[in-house]
Structure 1
């Protein structure tokens, strides 16, 4: 008779498996939710067992959008992400149950009057740190309220005071939603959802403001400002000879009409919306405006820019009124003028338009560190060069930090002086390495003439030809207009080139000299010794400033960081390589502290 192993042997197939008896044998299969580590039908004597199937890892988006999948032993379950809840049933659900995750939109239905709704939204959003779904919910509520503004409603008196109060509530509510503190909530949205929500917000503000303006029976002019936006509403007769209005750098010109009636114009400027609605090309900054009215118009906008920006486009946010899906477009807008202070765009249609740039002026934040202390100087030609190099760098940084508003010219001079002394350092090291015999006094005198005289000549010529280019409205430095900045970059690049050539000759000579004079030193030790010297020379000769040239030629975040880090620590590395690691300085410290018991052991 057949031996039924499945009944006679306890748990013969192990956990999560079912046993099936056959004539003279048996086989095991795994329960649902588990898979065999070997063949589908197996016996446990070969080490095969049943392991859990991680359904969440096998199938992407198993639970649907806005949900998370959680694996368990032999099964799994779904939950909704933050700000979302199941459409029906319990918090845990299966994807085949028909349940999906939907947003927790705020119920604003009880606010049936637009001013009450706007005031309520402004109050609820004033605390900051909104979630993504809260932002979406409030934008939906604003969209709902914009269609109610005085259109077909006889219970509201369209007086200037009522219009002003309602617009103030609208601006306050929208300002709270686009504050920089809410950028995290916007960036957590999917790109399509974010663009749709921003478009709905822009459209709601436009429609609400225009409806309020049209409800006024008298000419009106209101200007409402908040921390992140400004709204200007104007109404006037079409029969006027001159129909033009401005806000900041934006200007609108409307062709007069030989007919009665009025026109309503709305300007809206958003200061922080550029970070939310960036195009894929990463423009860096944008200025948005919206205009409403009738007839043929010309819109001009002037936005301060960096003249070195790689791309400057006049674009507008074009969207479908039905779906409120938008994209950047350029037709109907053109660049009229581009200079160092502004880009002027001209558009012949009603639009949310923007000046899109690939780069902008950086905010300069200065930090000062005390890197050295004054001690008794070591008398030599090299220390004289180092002392004057550090003095020029110190004066340049000191002036930049404390007196930036008045002395761009002195900054120009002392930075050039620093480069001049870097050049002198390279020349002096070259003379030492090649073995040139020179008169020390004569050389010192000429070093001073070149170190401080040549920068003075360059600055004097520059100031004579273009004194107006010293200092800008943004930074205390040379203007980029008419390439005036090259009065500094040109000499600096020339000195860097000279020092790089000197650096190459010096390293080659030192390496060859060490290899010939001290053959007992290994090739590896020779390379390591030269590398230490090369590191010191790179900072002393100003070779790290090549990162500035790279940043000018190819402006990227990497080159900006390399230039900032290398030159921020130039003074510190000069101090370390030329003072801390100097044998003469170490010997002097040894002599000074050798009789102090607590210091003798560490200095010995």
Structure 2
């Protein structure tokens, strides 16, 4: 019984379990008699709009077992940037802009137009697709090819030629024909080519127009020329410019031959319908040779000759320029540097152009060089000619230009001549710019000038020229006309120049004599030799060498290399002199203040006295070799002068300090050693000592630091006086005022006048035994003042 009951309960449980299991299926499945069946969520349902489905617009629904996912249609991309997404997400499908995302998707000569979905390619204007269809896409194996419009009949008219181009075409008039608009080509039927001779009555200028098989040509009237090119406009050519030049050519046959050749070429071009074109290279070469001869001979010795010369050069360049080939030519000679720019063609040239030489640079517009279109001769020439030494002949002629008070004008650049083919250059619409490189680097005021031949036979004038920019190295000028140009600088004049030169030459001559006796004294008299007299000796040697080189070579500017060597030697010896002055100040400080009589090794003094100047001069020469030698003197350039005055100023400051300390100490010693000496005697002795130290330490040279501006005439005299007479002062203070040296001089004179039995070898010691100076005096060589 119990067993049956258990079986019954087991059957009942299994039945309940079976019933419960049949009532539950997973999400995405339906319960059917045969079991759980997958639900197709992608099937069209009344819950969604037609053809949209659960994934929304522009997306495809993909059913899977128990679920589904969405995929954007071709040409679209999901906003989540994933390939698949669920309907429950916020992702949507957006159109892909292939025109932006795929580079060159349509290929060349085609335009891309985006559509939704996909895109379309359409050939550009002037092109057609190879399959003849208007629209295509990448991958259709279609290209856009050019349409040859010139195959159409009479596309350009009767007197024009069609020229096909990728995607377009244009028409060019046949030779002898042109357009009313003046343009070189046209397209369409808005314009037609007409006979040039009928279209433009002035096409030949002062000549008769004819039309031939190769185009129109011009027959020039007498007195006019088209330079042998029949298509050029006939322009006036004044041959009188090459006639009356006897003032320049009477002594120079080569110059006369060039002028005759220029005049002959000019006359032939104005009188012959088919003139012989001269050999331009030969003519230019002979012109530059003539310029060299005139500049090297000094023939341009007054302003009238300079005016004739410059006019001749300008006219010659205008005559020769049209015969040269594009783009031009560069030539140079010993006294000139020439650059010529040439443009030929019916079209008026446009744009900025730069022509340069070592001395200057020209910036201007080609339209300015060519001139007005109505007078354009068919060519444009522009030349820049630099002269090596014309500034020497043209300097000093300043006409109505007046420098500021106590100043004078000086040419500070090379003279250049600018010529163009444009005959109307008296007032330019667009000014030209000229950059001049200074011959002397200076911060003085610069003035831009041109040579005005009409002013008193010829003079520099600033009319029409202004300074755009200036610095020590160059000046930029703006001028509204063409001519020959240069840059003037305003210099401060030092009055009474002759007096200063006289003081310099007399003072230096006396100093050289005195320094020579000082050198003999300090080197030959053994009794006074000491570390301090060694410093005296080399100071005198340095000053003697500097003074001798100054007198012999300061004005020898003929040879630039030799002048630079002279400047370098002066730089070295004057610096050496100041270094020995500094050593003197140090030695004096040790003696008087520190009371330290230990001798300094001669080698150390040599390194300080000659080694330091040698290093300074070597570095200066490496940094700026051109700083040695100026236009007038063989000395340092003004902008480079601080390589001398820098060390000198430092030494002067140090020595002034030593001077003040030693004078203070000496004043105390005078009072302690001579308490009974009256005040006048103390003042006298103290003054003589102070002047001696001022002379020896070189502090009088401080007046030279005030020579860079106007109104310093007093400083100029003080500097010249003390600087040139320093050798005399050294001899007086350290030889004549020294009791010991005077005693040695007396011994020498007595031996010369009264012969002694002692041998010459005893000379250096006899006086020592007699005088028996103190040990401190022997060690220091101090003067007994």
TM class, shorter-length: 0.5 to 0.7
**Counterpart-to-counterpart distance in 2, 1:490 and 1:327:** 41
- The answer to whether the 8 A contact 2:451-2:483 is kept is yes
**Counterpart-to-counterpart distance in 2, 1:430 and 1:310:** 41
- In the superposition, relative to structure 1, how do residues 544 and 150 fare at CA in structure 2: closer, same or farther (>3 Å)? farther
Aligned partner of residue 271 in structure 1, secondary structure? helix
Offset of 1:303 from its aligned partner? 2.2
Aligned partner of residue 581 in structure 2, secondary structure? helix
Aligned partner of residue 585 in structure 1, secondary structure? helix
**Counterpart-to-counterpart distance in 1, 2:713 and 2:331:** 39
**Counterpart-to-counterpart distance in 1, 2:671 and 2:336:** 69
- In the superposition, relative to structure 1, how do residues 345 and 469 fare at CA in structure 2: closer, same or farther (>3 Å)? same
Structure 1 match to 2:385: 267
For structure 1, the 5+ residue unaligned runs are: 1-111, 127-141, 187-193
Determine whether 1:329 maps to 2:462. yes
Structure 1 match to 2:409: 283
**CA deviations over 1:231-265 (Å, ceiling 9, x no partner):** 73735115598844333221223434598412142
**Counterpart-to-counterpart distance in 2, 1:392 and 1:320:** 53
The worse-fitting range, judged by mean Cα deviation, of 392-401 and 244-253 is 392-401
**Counterpart-to-counterpart distance in 1, 2:455 and 2:536:** 70
Offset of 1:392 from its aligned partner? 5.6
**CA deviations over 1:539-564 (Å, ceiling 9, x no partner):** 21202311321224669687667646
Determine whether 1:419 maps to 2:583. no
| TM-score normalised by L of structure 2 | 0.44
**CA deviations over 1:208-231 (Å, ceiling 9, x no partner):** 3344335646567575757xx637
Structure 2 match to 1:237: 343
Structure 1 match to 2:278: 159
Structure 2 match to 1:584: 740
Report the aligned-residue RMSD: 5.8
**CA deviations over 1:521-580 (Å, ceiling 9, x no partner):** 9x5x88776665555433212023113212246696876676466435534542343235
**Counterpart-to-counterpart distance in 1, 2:456 and 2:564:** 51
| Aligned ranges 1:54-65 → 2 under 5 Å | none
| Aligned ranges 1:9-24 → 2 under 5 Å | none
Among 628, 650, 664, the alignment partner of 1:474 is 628
Offset of 1:397 from its aligned partner? 7.8
Aligned partner of residue 150 in structure 1, secondary structure? helix
Offset of 1:448 from its aligned partner? 8.5
Offset of 1:272 from its aligned partner? 0.6
**Counterpart-to-counterpart distance in 2, 1:499 and 1:202:** 63
Offset of 1:315 from its aligned partner? 0.8
**Counterpart-to-counterpart distance in 1, 2:350 and 2:470:** 29
**Counterpart-to-counterpart distance in 1, 2:435 and 2:340:** 18
**Counterpart-to-counterpart distance in 1, 2:728 and 2:287:** 56
**Counterpart-to-counterpart distance in 2, 1:462 and 1:255:** 47
Aligned partner of residue 734 in structure 2, secondary structure? helix
Offset of 1:375 from its aligned partner? 0.9
Determine whether 1:338 maps to 2:471. yes
**CA deviations over 1:165-213 (Å, ceiling 9, x no partner):** 8735863685379668x4xxx5xxxxxxx6xx47844662454334433
| TM-score normalised by L of structure 1 | 0.54
Structure 2 match to 1:91: none
Structure 1 match to 2:136: none
**Counterpart-to-counterpart distance in 2, 1:472 and 1:405:** 8
- In the superposition, relative to structure 1, how do residues 548 and 157 fare at CA in structure 2: closer, same or farther (>3 Å)? farther
Aligned partner of residue 276 in structure 1, secondary structure? coil
- In the superposition, relative to structure 1, how do residues 159 and 506 fare at CA in structure 2: closer, same or farther (>3 Å)? farther
**Counterpart-to-counterpart distance in 2, 1:595 and 1:458:** 41
- In the superposition, relative to structure 1, how do residues 253 and 540 fare at CA in structure 2: closer, same or farther (>3 Å)? same
Structure 2 match to 1:498: 657
**Counterpart-to-counterpart distance in 1, 2:739 and 2:643:** 44
Offset of 1:312 from its aligned partner? 3.5
Aligned partner of residue 549 in structure 1, secondary structure? helix
Offset of 1:398 from its aligned partner? 9.7
Among 471, 478, 488, the alignment partner of 1:356 is 488
Aligned partner of residue 595 in structure 2, secondary structure? coil
**Counterpart-to-counterpart distance in 2, 1:563 and 1:536:** 17
Structure 1 match to 2:706: 550
- The answer to whether the 8 A contact 1:267-1:289 is kept is yes
- The answer to whether the 8 A contact 2:417-2:483 is kept is yes
**Counterpart-to-counterpart distance in 2, 1:589 and 1:454:** 28
Determine whether 1:379 maps to 2:529. yes
Aligned partner of residue 409 in structure 2, secondary structure? coil
- In the superposition, relative to structure 1, how do residues 389 and 233 fare at CA in structure 2: closer, same or farther (>3 Å)? closer
**Counterpart-to-counterpart distance in 1, 2:294 and 2:394:** 15
The worse-fitting range, judged by mean Cα deviation, of 380-389 and 315-324 is 315-324
Aligned partner of residue 272 in structure 1, secondary structure? helix
**Counterpart-to-counterpart distance in 2, 1:458 and 1:160:** 59
**Counterpart-to-counterpart distance in 1, 2:713 and 2:464:** 31
For structure 2, the 5+ residue unaligned runs are: 1-238, 423-427, 493-503, 554-560, 630-634, 757-785
**Counterpart-to-counterpart distance in 1, 2:243 and 2:737:** 73
**Counterpart-to-counterpart distance in 1, 2:672 and 2:394:** 60
Among 427, 432, 437, the alignment partner of 1:303 is 437
| Aligned ranges 1:389-428 → 2 under 5 Å | 389-390=539-540, 393=543, 418-426=577-585
Structure 2 match to 1:438: 595
**Counterpart-to-counterpart distance in 1, 2:419 and 2:462:** 19
- In the superposition, relative to structure 1, how do residues 513 and 176 fare at CA in structure 2: closer, same or farther (>3 Å)? farther
Determine whether 1:488 maps to 2:647. yes
- The answer to whether the 8 A contact 1:514-1:526 is kept is no
Determine whether 1:150 maps to 2:256. no
**CA deviations over 1:317-370 (Å, ceiling 9, x no partner):** 37486987766427654354624xx2142435434332223459xxxx999957
- In the superposition, relative to structure 1, how do residues 425 and 596 fare at CA in structure 2: closer, same or farther (>3 Å)? closer
**Counterpart-to-counterpart distance in 2, 1:485 and 1:583:** 36
Structure 1 match to 2:357: 247
